[in-house]
Structure formats: C-alpha cells, structure tokens
Chains A and B, each alone.
Chain A
Amino acid sequence: MSGALDLSPGIPAARRRGLILGGDPLLAGLVGLVLAAALGLVLLPPAPYLVNMIGQLAAFAILAVSLDLVWGYLGILSLGHGLFFAIGGYVCAMHLLAHAYVVTGTAPDLMQFMGWKSLPVYWTGLTSAPYALALALGLAAAVAFVFGLASFRSRVNGVYFSIISQALVYVAMLLMFRNDTGLGGNNGMTGFSLLFGWPMGSPGVVTGLAVATLLSLAAVLVGARALVASPLGRRMLACRDDEARLRTLGYGTTRLKLGIWCLSAAIAALAGLLYVPQVGIINPRVLSPDLSIEIAVWVAIGGMGRLGGAVIGAIAVNALKFWLSAAMPEAWPFILSGLVLVVVLGLPNGLLDLATLRLKPNWLQRAGPQP
C-alpha cells in the first residue's frame, strides 16, 4: 500500500530518505544534545548522584516518547503505560537478583522472606541478560497485544480506552502487592549487588548505565522519527484525525493501531529496564494509576504529537520534581496540578507553544480541534 500513495507533503522523497531528522530541527537538536551529554559523561564525569539523575531522566524521556507515539500520533491515550514500564523494571530486577544469586550465592531477600529453598520456576533462565531483555520486551508486547486486540477489535477508543487501561494498571498493582507472586510482594525487589559481574553503585557502573540510557534515548528518538516520517506514520496521523474515514478508504486500522501499540509497550518496557538498576528498587507503587497518569502529564506539558515535546516534558517535569519534592514536598502536588491546568487550558500544544507565542495571544479563546 505504501507505494500507492505518497501522503507526505513538503520534503521531496529523495531528501527525506537521507535525512530523517531533517524535517524536525527540534528533534535533531535534542538528539545532538543527548549524544553530547553521553560523551560529556564519559569524558568529564560529574558527581555520581548527578550522573545517576541524568540517567533516570533519560529513562523517563524514553517512557514519555513511547506514550507520545500512541497518544500524539495515534490518538490513543493510555493511562496504564506504567504497566509496561513495570514489566521491564520487574524483569530487570529479576535478572539482577538471579545473576547475583548465581555469582555470589547470597539468596535474594524475597526467598528468605517467603522461606523458599529455590526461586520459582518462572525465574528460570533469567541469569542470562539477552533472555531477560527479550523477555521484558516480549512480555510487554504480548500483554499489550492481548489487551489491544480485545479493545481495538471491538472499537473501544477515546476516553473508554483510557479508563479501561487505567483499571488494568490498577488491577496489576493489586496483584503485585500480593506476597505469593514470587516477585517481592509489597516490598518489591531491591538490594541489587551486581551488574554483569561488576559491583552496583561503583562510578563506572553508574556512568555506564546513564550513558547506555542516553544512547537508548537517542536511538529511540531516531527510530520513532523514522517511523512517524514514513508513510506508515502518515497513516497513523490519518487514523488519529479520522479513523472512520481511513477505514472507509480501505486501510485496516485495527492492525495499524495494534502494531504501534505493541511497539510503544516494548519501548516503555525498555525504559523500565534501564530505570530500575539506576534507582536500585522496584515495587508495586510503580503501578499506581497516578503514576501512569503522570506520564501522560509529562507528554501534555511538553507538547503531545511532537517527539521532542515528550522529551522536554518528561525532563522538565521530573527535574522540577527532583528539586521540589526535596525543597518543598508539600507544594509539589499543587504546582503539578497548576501546571497541568495552565497547559491544558492555555497551551494546547504544551510548552512548545511558548516558542511560538504571539505578541497578542489568542489562547484565551477556545482552542481549535484537538485529538
């Protein structure tokens, strides 16, 4: 189908192929900045806590990009993306514990807590990092596939989809709070000691994790940009703006939505995978519905429908959160809710609107049509 219609206006096809980032200078700048930061961390490493924070922010940015792919480009607002993030995080934690168990022989806390002699059967093979990576991404995509198939097939969309996805992450949270799941229950999993045989928390490992996360972010951004600039990306936008019409034109929207939805889940799992070794803990609170809504808030504040907006939103909100929840923890929820309201009411495209704000702002009028 892609050969039949060239829906992308503007750049000629020949130029587009060579310069994926050429059409989005903001994104190109961001990718450059991310790569520069990665290089900077290697050459002139700052204090470890700062390195760690940069790594965490980059993981959040990957998560925000994964949500922006489905929300900004496909019009599907997931309020349950924390589920896929948590799948990545939990699998990573299991790998770290299983690896340390094999190398050092100290049993993980959860085995002692539950009084188990050995790890449950579904931990088999998790000592292998490639298997853990494949499991995290594959499991997230599989869960997304089942849920997405059930929803998209019966044309559950819009607000309906959002609140059902919220219920999904809520139920997952209740499930993980149980202690008999073999995944740490309400204490979660912590006490990671080794990463590929190196001691966790040593400056080299901290820098390595942060650099790996930054490089992943750059790769995800370039890949996502390639996707949305492709004919498939045009079809995503068409589906967002008028799904019924696209279907009438003969395009199967269910398959399109399902594919992007699973891809987005896998990217979210990748973010979780990179996040957990940097914070050193995972517990069911990652699955709280509020956290999943916050991901959407980052995207909305940065500017949905622009990959760069998601990155800026995730980094701005979380940097503010890191700073304020230490400086004045009581005020943080008020600032966050105020920020959301200002953005939702005044800046329909998020902070990116500030860049194009005219001298006589017309944003007090009702906003134009928006997904």
Chain B
Amino acid sequence: MVKGPGRFGFVALLLWASSLVMPPALAAEATLDRGALATALCGDGAAQAKAVEGVLRNSAEATSGDLAWAGTILRALLDRRLACLGESALVLDRAGATDGRDAATGTARPVTGGRSPVLGLRQRALIETASGAASLLTGADVELRRAGLAALERRIATVPEALLLRAASAESDPGLRAGLAAIAQSAALSSVDPARRLAAIRAVSEAPSGAAFSRLSALKADAAYGSDPAFRSALDAALARVERAVSIGNGLAVLYNGLSFASILFMAAAGLAIIFGLMGVINLAQGEFIMIGAYATYGVQEAVRRIAPGWLDAYLLAAIPVAFLTSALVGIAIEALILRHLYRRPLMSLLATWAVSLFLINGVRVAVGSQNLQFAMPPYVSGGVPLYADFVVTWNRLFAIAFAAVTLVLTLVILKRTPLGLDIRAVTQNRDMAACLGIRTRRVDRLAFGFGSGLAGLAGVALCPIYSVNPGMGANFVIDSFMVVVLGGVGTVVGTLVAALGIGGANVLIEPLYGAVAAKVIVLAGIILFLQRRPEGLFAVRRRR
C-alpha cells in the first residue's frame, strides 16, 4: 500500500466535512449504560443484536473507558468466557473457570449456577465487528488495532464513517493510518450523499495510484454512472487523470530501475574497460571480483556483528574500503602470477581468466557454501519514499546509484588528476613510447589491474542490498558488462558510462514490452549492428598499436 500525503489530506478533508454535518449534541461524548448492556448480552438474540448495534453506532462518540469495557465484555462473550447469573454477567479469565468478576461492578464472585449465553451467526458477526471497533479505538499496541481494523473491514458496510474518522485522527502508526484512510475513502465513494461522493472521487484522484484507478473503475458499474451526468463526468475526468499519472509514475519507476541496473553495470564495466584499454586483456573473472566484493561485505557484516553489534547499521559503509582492497589485492595477485606472462597472447589470457573464475567460484563454494548470503538491511537501504503515483524511490537502488556516481567521479579524478592516471593514459595510448619515456609500464599494468578489480569489488558492495549474493552471482553481470565495454569503446570512462546507461536503459525499457529474453536479444542485435558503423565503439581512444 502506498502512503501519500494526499491520503492524509483527504482524511483531514473528511474530518472537516463531517464536523460540518454532525449535530453538536452527537459530537459530545455519550456515556454507555454498562449495566443495561450486560443484561442485554445475557438476553435473547434480538436483545443482543440491538444492544451490540447500539454500541457500534455510538462507538464514535463513546468515552475510551466505556469502549475498553465494552471490548472486554464482547471478547469474553465471543470466547465463551461470559457467565450470566440472573440479571448480572460475570467475565471469567478462561473458559470454564470457577469464579470471575462482575462485568458491571468489577467485584469477584463465584460462577456457580451461571450459564453461558448462546450466540447466533448474525449476532456473532455483529459482536466481532463491535469488538473490532473497540480494539481499533482502544487497543494498546499496533497489532491489536490492526486486527480490529481487519475485523471491521469484513463488514465495512455496517461501520459508521465517524468511527473510522475518529480512529484515523487518533492513530499513530502510519501504515495503519493509510489503511484507515483507504477504507474511509471507499466508504465515502459508496456513500448515499452525491456531494460527498463527488468530493471523495476528487480526493481519490488527488492521490493517483494503481489501486485508486481500480477503485474508481469499479464505480463505472454504479447505477449513478448511467443516470447522473455530473457524477459521470466527474468520474471520467478523475479516471483520465489517475490513468495519466499512473502511467507517468510507472515510466519513472522503469527509468529508475534502469538507472540502478546501469549503475551496477557501470561499476563492473569501468574496471574491465580500463584493463582492456591498457593491456588488451578481457578479464572473464570480472564477475568473480564482484562476488569477492560482496563476500567481503558479508565478512565485514559478520565481524561488526561480533565485535560491535551496536554499529551493525554502519557495516555497509565500513565494507567499502575492505571490499575495494580485497578485490584489488586478489586482482594484483592474479596479474602478478598469471596474466603477466600472457600479454602477447590475449586469447590465451581469456582462457586463463576463465580458469581463475572457475577456481574462485568453486573455492568460495567449498569454503563458504553455495547458499544465498543473508544481509542485515540498515535503515538507509530499506524502504523508500513514494514520489509520484506508484513510483517509489527505494533506498537500496538509490544507494547503488549514488555509489556509482561517487565511483565515477573518483575514477575520473584518478585518471585525469593523479600521476598514476597520467601513466595509465600514456600507456593506453602508446605503450612503447611511454616505456621509452621512463614510465614503468609493468608497474602501471599491475596497479591498473588492481584498480579495475577494486572497482568490481565496489560493485559487489552496491548490489548487496538489491540482488542475491552467492558464488555464481558474477555470471549475471559479466556478459552484460562485456557488452558495455564493446559498445562504449575501450579505455574510456565516459564511453563506459554512456554504454552502461544505454544497455541498462534498453534492457528495462524493452523488458516490460516483450520480456527479458527479447530484451537481451534486441540489445545484442543492436550492438552487432552498431559495430557495423563504429567497430571501435562509441568513444574510441586514439592510439597506436
């Protein structure tokens, strides 16, 4: 259920409207005749029904004390914990207990000779509703009130609107308040007062959502839609408005998901593109560096949980340097042990990195296990803010997007503003000339490989709150990130960014229309066609080979 400011505005409106129509005498708190109620509950079915209907009707005006009392006795009746002794009723602690307390006075008395009143089906439903109303208004904790609301919803037609309004104004839990508002709205939509209905329709269209649309569409079947032109035009206008807003909201949600997917792709592909531009090596183990980053994050979480449980929420931030360094060190080790020997044989380095990825996947599978890891979700990556219609800005995806943005800036700064970046660019453009000028190209290779692997490790941190983490997770990203490198051109961060946005966006745009598989097919075909025009990718770096 989407919570929007419009809903609360709507409740306020209803409150205001009801204060206008409500006679002052009724608005004052009425008192409940406790003794009469107890007697009636011990009476026959007709008496019970009349008394309970009275409780329900007056529930909006009754004092909290009276309501709580009514709730207790009604629940006791439902649970067969009520014993009738002549004119008075006793509430027992449990069914079949030998003594209880007088319902009206509260004094303890033995039950001997008492009888339990019989409930008909109609009476039971009524009592459930009234007891629900009492729980909703006087329940001590949210769960009780939620259960009360659920009981009311089952027979919403018998519930007076004033009761819902009172509950909404007193409710502190936002989720429950939204539920109440929705129920109050549907009650108002089917109200008998045409002006009230029009106001409700207008109010519903103020807070557009998929649910609002279906609620309004249901009104088309209403008799008034055919007979009342004002109602008809108001409903049509509201429907058009909600429909437009919902489609805009869904469009935004698609773009937002595409942006977050593109962010992860960018972080995975940026390192790949730098390494490929520099050394001509495609690292098939890049996906496994993402996996290592995610597992390092898990390690940090477990360490924090053990050492400083109070700081658990901060583990995701603490994991950033750890994941970067872990992946970077593994990358440097692989470069030094294996890839160093293969720079003149790029196709063989492809196989070598595949062997490394196979080794890493199975190593982690043996060491940690192949199940999905469980991550604690700190508040800054759980939940979200509803922004427009059904579009919710979820924090976990925003975290990934912000993370990628920071990574982008840092990568650009390192490449353009530091001595290492200068060396990387020089070696990328002309390895031999750079070596002649005294740049230690082997050292640059190693550091750049570590940097690229570290970026993949950062992608691992960013996707922990979104995707599932297991030894084989890298395979889900690695082929897409290769495509990003191919499309973007080697050795350019900007090209990688544009290509990641393009591929991520294309994937999520096509997916809802034709399905995920078609999205991949179309993207691949598009890339192959694109390479017909620009075989070097979008932004090719000029260089000599």
Chain A positions near chain B (C-beta within 8 angstroms): 71, 75, 77, 79, 147, 150-151, 153-156, 158-160, 162-164, 166-168, 170-171, 174-175, 177-178, 289-290, 293, 296-297, 300, 330, 333-334, 336-338, 340-341, 344-345, 348, 366-367, 369-371
Docked-complex contact B341 and A341, CB < 8 angstroms: no
User: Residue-by-residue, is B334-347 near A (CB-CB < 8 Å gives 1, otherwise 0)?
Assistant: 00001001101111
Please give, as numbers and ranges, the residues of chain A lying within 8 Å of B524 by CB-CB distance.
Answer: 164, 167-168, 171
**A178 CA / B344 CA spacing, docked (Å):** 41
Whether A337 touches B345, Cβ cut-off 8 Å, given contacts A166-B482, A174-B520, is no
Are the CB atoms of A336 and B527 closer together than 8 Å?
A: no
A337 touches B535 (CB 8 A): no
Q: Does the CB pair A77–B344 fall under 8 Å?
A: no
Given A159-B276, A174-B516, A174-B520: A333 in contact with B350 (beta carbons within 8 A)? no
- Contact of A154 (CB < 8 Å), options: B347, B349, B352, B535: B535
Report chain A residues within 8 Å CB of B348.
Answer: 300, 344, 348, 370
Contacts of B363 in A (CB 8 A): 334
**Cβ contacts A to B, 17 pairs, < 8 Å:** A71-B347, A150-B532, A154-B531, A154-B533, A155-B535, A156-B531, A159-B347, A162-B347, A163-B282, A164-B528, A168-B524, A171-B521, A171-B524, A174-B517, A178-B517, A345-B338, A367-B344
Do B350 and A77 touch across chains, with their CB atoms under 8 A apart?
A: yes
Are B521 and A337 closer than 8 Å at their CB atoms?
no
Residues of chain A with a CB closer than 8 A to B533's CB: 154
Given A168-B524, A337-B358, does the pair A371, B347 have CB atoms closer than 8 Å? yes
Known: A153-B532, A334-B362, A341-B338. A297 touches B351 (CB 8 A): yes
Q: Let me know if B355 and A341 touch, CB within 8 A.
A: yes
Name the contact of B517 in the complex, choosing from A71, A175, A290 (C-beta under 8 A): A175
Q: What 0/1 readout, one digit per residue, does chain B (308-350) give for beta carbons within 8 Å of chain A?
A: 0000000000000000000000000000001001101111111
State whether A369 touches B338 (Cβ < 8 A): no
Q: Is the interface of B mostly helix, strand, loop or mixed?
A: helix
Contact A175 B521 (CB under 8 A): yes
Given contacts A175-B517, A296-B351, contact A348 B345 (CB under 8 A): yes
Please report the C-alpha to C-alpha distance between residue A334 and residue B365 in the assembled complex, in whole angstroms. 12
Cβ-defined partner of B350 (8 Å) among A79, A170, A174, A341: A79
Tell whether, in the assembled complex, residue A154 and residue B346 are in contact, meaning their CB atoms are under 8 Å apart: no
Most buried by A among B338, B349, B351, B532: B351
Query: What's the Cα separation between A159 and B479 when bound, in Å?
Result: 13
A151 close to B528 (CB less than 8 A)? yes
A300 closest partner in B (C-beta): B351
B529 at the interface (CB under 8 A from A): yes
**Does any Cβ of A come within 8 Å of B366's Cβ?**
yes
List the B side residues contacting A166 at CB < 8 Å. 479, 482
A175 to B515: give the CA distance in the assembly, Å. 11
- A156 cross-chain contacts in B, Cβ below 8 A: 531, 535
Report the separation of the CA atoms of residues A333 and B485 in the bound assembly, to the nearest whole angstrom.
28
B527 and A164 form a contact (CB under 8 A)? yes
Quick one: which of B347, B358, B516 contacts A336, CB cutoff 8 A?
A: B358
Q: How many residues of B contact A (CB 8 A)?
A: 44
| Known contacts A164-B528, A296-B351, A159 near B282 by CB under 8 Å | yes
Most chain A beta carbons < 10 A, residue from B346, B358, B366, B520: B358
Find the A residue at minimum CB distance from B354: A293
Q: Does B486 contact A (CB under 8 A)?
A: yes
Contacts A336-B358, A337-B358, A344-B351 given; indicate if A367 touches B486 (C-beta within 8 A): no
Distance in Å: Cβ of A86 to nearest Cβ of chain B: 16
- The reply to whether B520 and A334 contact each other, CB–CB distance below 8 Å, is no
Distance in angstroms from B479 CB to nearest chain A CB is 5
Give the residues in chain A near B527, CB-CB below 8 Å: 164, 167
Partner of B355, one of A75, A150, A171, A336: A336
Contact of B344 among A160, A300, A370 (CB under 8 A): A370
**Closest 9 pairs (CB-CB, A-B):** A340-B355, A337-B355, A333-B362, A337-B359, A337-B358, A370-B345, A163-B482, A154-B535, A77-B347
Q: Enumerate chain A residues within 8 angstroms of B358, measured Cβ to Cβ.
A: 290, 333, 336-337, 340
Q: Which residue of B lies closest to A170 (CB)?
A: B479
Which residues of A have CB within 8 Å of B516?
Answer: 174
When chains A and B are docked, how far (Å) is the Cα of A178 from the Cα of B521? Answer: 13
B345 contact set on A, CB distance < 8 A? 348, 367, 370-371
Instruction: Take A158-B346, A297-B351, A341-B338 as given contacts and tell me if A334 and B359 are in contact as well, using a CB distance cutoff of 8 Å.
Output: yes
Interchain CA distance A153-B531 in the complex, whole Å: 10
B280 at the interface (CB under 8 A from A): yes
Closest to A294 in B: B354
Residues of B within 8 A of A158 (CB): 280, 346-347
The distance in angstroms between the C-alpha atoms of A334 and B362, with both chains bound, is 7
B483 part of interface (Cβ distance < 8 Å)? yes
Nearest Cβ in chain A — how far from B133, in angstroms?
50
Point out the residues of chain A lying under 8 angstroms from B535, CB to CB: 154-156
**A182 CB, min distance to chain B CBs, angstroms:** 15
**B248 interface residue (CB < 8 Å to A):** no
Docked complex Cα distance between A337 and B351 (Å)? 9
Residues of A within 8 A of B483 (CB): 167
B104: Cβ under 8 A from any A Cβ? no
Q: A164-B527, A293-B351, A340-B351 are in contact. Are A159 and B532 (CB under 8 A)?
A: no
Chain B residues closer than 8 Å to A336, beta-carbon distance: 355, 358
Q: Does B447 contact A (CB under 8 A)?
A: no
Q: Is B376 an interface residue (CB 8 A)?
A: no
Residue of A nearest to B282 (CB): A159
Is B356 an interface residue, CB under 8 A from the partner? yes
A333 and B359 within 8 A (CB) = yes
Contacting residues, chain B, for A151 (C-beta < 8 A): 528, 531
Q: Which residues does chain A contribute within 8 Å of B341, judged by CB atoms?
A: 345, 366-367
Report the minimal beta-carbon distance from B525 to chain A, rounded to whole angstroms: 9
The 0/1 profile, CB within 8 Å of A marked 1, for residues 350-385 of chain B is 111011101101110010000000000000000000
Measured between beta carbons, the chain B residues less than 8 angstroms from A171 are 517, 520-521, 524
CB–CB A150/B528 < 8 A: yes
CB neighbours (8 Å) of A147 from chain B are 528
B356 to chain A: closest residue by CB: A337
Residues of B with C-beta under 8 A to A178: 517
Chain B: minimal CB distance from A366 (Å)? 6
Contacts of A293 in B (CB 8 A): 284, 351, 354
Give the chain A neighbours of B528 by CB distance below 8 A: 147, 150-151, 164
Contacts A159-B276, A159-B346, A334-B362; A164 near B355 (Cβ below 8 A): no
Q: B485 to chain A: which residues have CB within 8 Å?
A: 163
Identity of the chain A residue whose Cβ is nearest the Cβ of B358 in the assembled complex: A337
Are A341 and B531 in contact (CB-based, < 8 A)? Answer: no
Q: Which residue of B lies closest to A332 (CB)?
A: B362
Chain A contacts for B347, CB-based, 8 A: 71, 75, 77, 158-159, 162, 371
Partner of B354, one of A155, A330, A340: A340
Supposing A154-B535, A159-B276, A167-B479 touch, asked if A344 and B346 sit within 8 A by C-beta, the answer is no
**Closest A residue by C-beta to B348:** A344
Cα–Cα, bound, A345→B352 (Å): 8
Which B residues lie within 8 Å of A154 (CB)? 531-533, 535
**A341 engages B517 (CB within 8 Å):** no
Most buried by B among A163, A334, A336, A366: A163
CB distance from A256 to the nearest CB of B (A): 19
A289 touches B479 (CB 8 A): yes
| From B276, B338, B342, residue with most partner A Cβ within 10 Å | B342
Contact partner of A150 among B280, B282, B529, CB < 8 A? Answer: B529
Docked pose: A166 CA to B529 CA in angstroms: 16
B253-294: which have CB < 8 Å to A?
A: 276, 280-282, 284
CB distance from A188 to the nearest CB of B (A): 16
Q: B354 — which chain A residues lie within 8 A by C-beta?
A: 293, 297, 340
Chain B residues closer than 8 Å to A371, beta-carbon distance: 345, 347
Shortest CB distance B491–A (Å): 13
A213 to B376, CA, bound (A): 55
Measured CB to CB, the nearest residue on chain A to B352 is A344
Residues of chain B from 495 to 524 with CB closer than 8 A to chain A in the complex: 516-517, 520-521, 524
